[in-house]
Chains A and B, each alone.
Chain A
Amino acid sequence: MSSFSVTEPSDRSKWFAGTLVIVYALITMMPLAWIMLTGFKSPSDAISYPPKVVFEPTLEGYVNLFTTRTRQTEEYLEANPPETWYEEIVREYDMVIAGPSKFGERFMNSVIIGFGSTFLSIVLGTLAAYAFSRFKIPLADDLLFFILSTRMMPPIAVAIPIFLMYRTLGLSDTHLGMILLYTAVNISLAVWLLKGFIDEIPREYEEAALIDGYTRFQAFYKVVLPQAATGIASTAIFCLIFAWNEYAFAVLLTSGTAQTAPPFIPTIIGVGGLDWPAVAAGATIFLLPVMVFTILLRKHLLRGITFGAVRK
C-alpha cells in the first residue's frame, strides 16, 4: 500500500530524477575521464583512431611532464645503464633525463597565486560585506553598484592598460602582481555574495554579543563569522576556481618567475612533438587542488548554491 503525500515525490519520479542526474553526471564527467585516461596512454595510443578505451597504461606522460630529456649517442646509453624506473621509460626512445621540467615550479606558482588571491579576496570581501550589511554608509547602494560594475566588462578589455601599468609599477611577472589582479577581479563577486549571506544573519546575535560584554570586532569574529562559514566557503570556491583557471592575463603578464600552470601546460605540446599524454597528465594534476578544495568544502557549497532559497 502506498500513501499519498503532497510533498514527497512518488517512487517513479524519484527513479526518473535519479536516472537523469546520473546520465547528466556521466556526460559532464566524460571529458574529465578522457583526460585522466589519456594521461596514462603512450603517445601513439593517445592519437590512435578509432580511440582506444582499453590500452596498456604507462607513466610516460607523467615522466615527460616533470622532466626535460635529450637524445644521446648509443655509446653513452650503453655506458650509463638506467638507474630508475623513469629513466627506463625514456630510454625506450634513446633519450636521457636532462633535468626537471618547469612544471613543478609553475604548479607552485598557481598554488601561491590562486590560494593567495582567494585568501585576500575572502578577507577583504568579508570585512567589506559586513560593513555594507551593518553600517550606514553614505551612498552605499551606489558603491555596491560601482563594485559590481567592475564585472560588467570582460576583464581582458582592460588588458592593455593593466599591462602598461604593471610594467611601470614593476608588477609584471610577479606573484604579488597576479595575486592583486585576481583579487581585484574576485572582490566584487566576494562582496556581493558575502553581503547576501551576512544580511541573512540577524543583527540580534551581534547585539546580544555586544551586551554580553564583547566589542564589535569580537562579536563579528565570534558570532558572525561562524554563521557566515557556509557563505565564506562557497565564495572561496568560486574565487579559487576563477583564479586557478584564469588564462588570458596569465599569458599576458607572466612569462617566467610567476607564470602559472594554465599558460605553461600548452607549451608542453611544442617540446617534443604532440605529446598529448604529457598535456593530459598536466591537466589531471592541475585539476586536483580545486577538486580536493571543493570536496573538503562541499557540504558548505551545497548550502551555498541554494542560499536564499529557503529561509529558516
Chain B
Amino acid sequence: MAEVTLKNLCKSFGEDVAVDDVSMTIPDGAFVVLLGPTGAGKTTTLRLISGLEKEDSGEIWIGGRNVSGETPAQRDVAMVFQQYSLYPHLTVKDNLAFPLKSPILKTPQAEIDRKVAEVAEVLQISHKLDNKATELSGGEMQRVSIGRALVREPAVYLMDEPLSSLDAKLRTDLRVELKRIQGSLGATLLYVTHDQIEAMTMATHVGVLDQGRLVQFGTPREIYEDPDSLYVASRLGLPRINVLPADVFGGVPPGTTQIGMRPEHIRQGDGQDAEVMRVEHLGDQNRLHLTLKGHAITTIADPSTDYEPGAHIKIAPKNPLCFDADGNRIR
C-alpha cells in the first residue's frame, strides 16, 4: 500500500477543463472519498491516477515514485469502473483470476485458486464462480468487478461509484465489508460517490470537487460541520442544508448575505413564526417541511411530536453557517 500525491494536476478535453490544478495527498492507508456533482472531475481524477488518461500538466506520485509516463499496468493500481466491465467471454472465476494471471503478477495457480475463493466468499458469489459473466444479474456483475480489484494488493484502489447499481441491502452489506477489508489490508483507497452515507461512514478524508477544482479536503466531520463554502455545505446533508437570506433571522456577522442551517440545527419553540406545510413520518424521526416568509425550510422533529399541516411553530437557527455573496464562508 502506498501514499498517493497529486501535484497541480490539470486535464482538459478540448475546451472543457475537467481537472483544474488539483493538489492532494492521500495518506497511506487512507480511505478518501471524492464528492461532487456530475462533471466535477471525479472520474477524470481517477482515470489520471490510473494512467488511462494523460495529464496535461502536474505530477502524480504513487509510493514516492513519479508515475507520469508509466502505463496503467506499471502503476500498480486496481480500479472498479462505474459500469461493470466484466470480460463477457470469461467465467466469473476467470474474470477474478484475470489480474492475477497478468504478465506482471504471474501468480502460481494454487495461489490464484486460494485468492479467488477467498474473495468470492467475501462478496457472496462463490456459487456463481463457474457461470459466464453475462449470466449474472447487475448486482452480481458489480460484485465480481469489485472482486477483480480485491484479488490484488495494489498500491492504491480506485473505485468509481462501485455500489451505485446495487440494491439497498447489498449496498449496506458491501459498504461495511469494503470498509472492513480496507481496514484489515491497510489499503489506500480513492472512492468516488454521490452517496452521503457512503462518504460519511467509510471515508477517513473527503475531497470536494467543483468544476475540476478541489475546493475542500478534510475529514467527513470537518466537511459536514465546518464547510468552507456554501457549495461544500450543500454537498453533504440529507435533507439538504436550508439556505436563507441573512436578514430573515438577523444577528449575523457583517458581510453575511445568506445563512445555512442544517435541518438538525434549528431550534423549535422560539424565534420566527413558521407554518407547517407537510409532515413526513420516517419512524425514527419526523421531517417537517415549513415555510417562513415564503422560504421553504426542512427540519426534523422528535417522532412523538404530532404536528399537523397548517400548524404554526416558532423556529430559530442554532449556530448557523454564514456565507458572503460569493458563497464563501464567514467565520
Interface residues of A (CB under 8 A from B): 202, 204-205, 207-215, 218, 223, 226-227
Contacts and interface: CB of A to CB of B under 8 A. Distances in A.
Given A213-B73, A215-B73, A208 B85 contact: yes
B72 A204 contact: no
A227 B72 contact: no
B77 interface: yes
Given A210-B71, A213-B105, A227 B89 contact: yes
B155 to A, nearest CB: 12
Contact of B52 (A210, A214, A218): A210
A212 B99 contact: yes
B108 to A, nearest CB: 15
Give me the 9 closest cross-chain CB pairs, A-B, nearest first.
A213-B102, A204-B85, A212-B99, A213-B104, A210-B72, A226-B89, A208-B85, A213-B73, A211-B72
B52 A212 contact: no
A211 B89 contact: no
Contacts of B87: 205, 208-209, 223
A218 B73 CA distance: 11
A211 B77 CA distance: 7
Contacts of B51: 210-211
Looking at B71, B72, B98, B99, which has the most chain A CB atoms within 10 Å of its CB?
Answer: B72
Given A204-B83, A204-B85, A205-B87, A211 B103 contact: no
B148 interface: yes
B290 to A, nearest CB: 46
Contacts of B85: 202, 204-205, 207-208
B16 to A, nearest CB: 17
Interface of B: 50-52, 71-73, 77-79, 81, 83, 85, 87-89, 98-99, 102-105, 145, 148
B79 A208 contact: yes
**Secondary structure at chain B's binding surface: helix, strand, loop or mixed?**
loop
A169 to B, nearest CB: 42
A58 B64 CA distance: 83
Contacts of A208: 79, 81, 85, 87, 145, 148
Given A212-B73, A212-B148, A223-B87, 9 more contacts: A204-B81, A204-B85, A207-B72, A208-B81, A208-B87, A208-B145, A212-B78, A213-B102, A213-B105
Nearest to B98: A212
Contacts of B50: 211
A122 B35 CA distance: 46
Contacts of A213: 73, 99, 102-105
26 contacts: A202-B83, A202-B85, A204-B81, A204-B85, A205-B85, A207-B52, A207-B72, A207-B81, A208-B85, A208-B145, A208-B148, A210-B51, A210-B72, A211-B52, A211-B72, A211-B77, A212-B78, A212-B99, A212-B102, A212-B148, A213-B103, A213-B104, A213-B105, A215-B71, A215-B103, A218-B103
B190 to A, nearest CB: 13
Looking at A207, A209, A212, which has the most chain B CB atoms within 10 Å of its CB?
Answer: A212
A211 B67 CA distance: 14
A204 B89 CA distance: 14
Nearest to A214: B102
A215 B77 CA distance: 14
A140 B197 CA distance: 46
A230 to B, nearest CB: 11
Contacts of A226: 89
Contacts of A202: 83, 85
Contacts of B145: 208
B78 A227 contact: no
Contacts of B89: 226-227
Nearest to A226: B89
B83 A211 contact: no
A226 B81 CA distance: 21
Nearest to B76: A213
Contacts of A223: 87
Contacts of A207: 52, 72, 81, 85
A164 B93 CA distance: 58
A78 to B, nearest CB: 69
A215 B85 CA distance: 17
A129 B250 CA distance: 67
Contacts of A218: 102-103
Contacts of B71: 210, 215
A225 to B, nearest CB: 9
B88 A211 contact: no
Given A218-B103, A227-B88, A227-B89, A211 B79 contact: yes
B79 to A, nearest CB: 5
A202 B81 CA distance: 12
A218 B87 CA distance: 14
Contacts of B52: 207, 210-211
A202 B87 CA distance: 10
B88 A210 contact: no
Nearest to B74: A213
A33 B197 CA distance: 71
B134 to A, nearest CB: 9
Nearest to A212: B99
